[in-house]
Every structure is written in structure tokens, then in C-alpha cells.
Amino acid sequence: MSSTEQETAEAGIAIVVTPKAVDEVLRFIDAEGVSAETAGLRVSVLPGGCSGFKYSLNIEERPLEDDIVLTRDRLRLFVDGFSLPYLNGVTIDYVSSMQGSGFTFSNPNATGGCGCGSSFSA
């Protein structure tokens, strides 16, 4: 078990960010000009989308006071309490193809979804 997987297991929170996704987020952080020491990726679930919930990813300069902060490789994740149950077990990846590129989510908590790939039901 890697140190990241160990930290995850100890915290009881399993969110996986693939190395390709980590690299891409770090590129975005650098482009935003925020400090990599304090900045991170806010991963959240919001009501809406065509299936009931939608994923949201944002670069943030620092976590909010009530965020759960997780470290994945060289990346810090900021997760709010509402989103956490929906994100536990999710894998975030970055894919690039002829149809386009972007982040994808594999979520074992989802009971349904739609063709857009960014909304789900639970």
C-alpha cells in the first residue's frame, strides 16, 4: 500500500486521483499563479445536473475552515462535509482523446448517470 493509500485508509476516505489528473491539476494551479504550498483542488458535489447531482472542480488558493484536506501525491484536495459521502470511493482521472479532453469520474456511489459524464444520481 502506498503512503497515499495508507493516509486514505487511516482517514477512512478513499478518493483516488490518477497521476495524469494530478499533473493536469498542478498545471492549472501553476497557470493560476497561486502558491502550490497552500493551493489545492476543491472537489465537490452540487445539486443539479441531468441526474440529480453534478461534480465540480475548482482551483482554490486555500481550504475553507470546515474543509477536509486530503493529500494525493503532490496535490491537496479540499472537500466539504456535504460532498464527502458522495465522493468516498471515487476515482478522478484526466483523459485526452480526439473527441476532447477533460476530467472523468468513476463513482461506486452513483446509482445512475447520463451521457454527459458529469452528473449522477445516488
Architecture of the domain defined by 3-115: Sandwich (2.60)
Whole-prediction pTM: 0.78
pLDDT tens track of the chain, all 122 residues? 344 443 444 357 789 999 999 999 999 999 999 988 899 999 999 887 666 788 899 999 999 999 999 998 889 999 999 899 889 899 999 998 887 888 988 888 766 555 544 544 44
Q: Where are the domains of the chain?
A: 3-115
Give SS3 for 8. helix
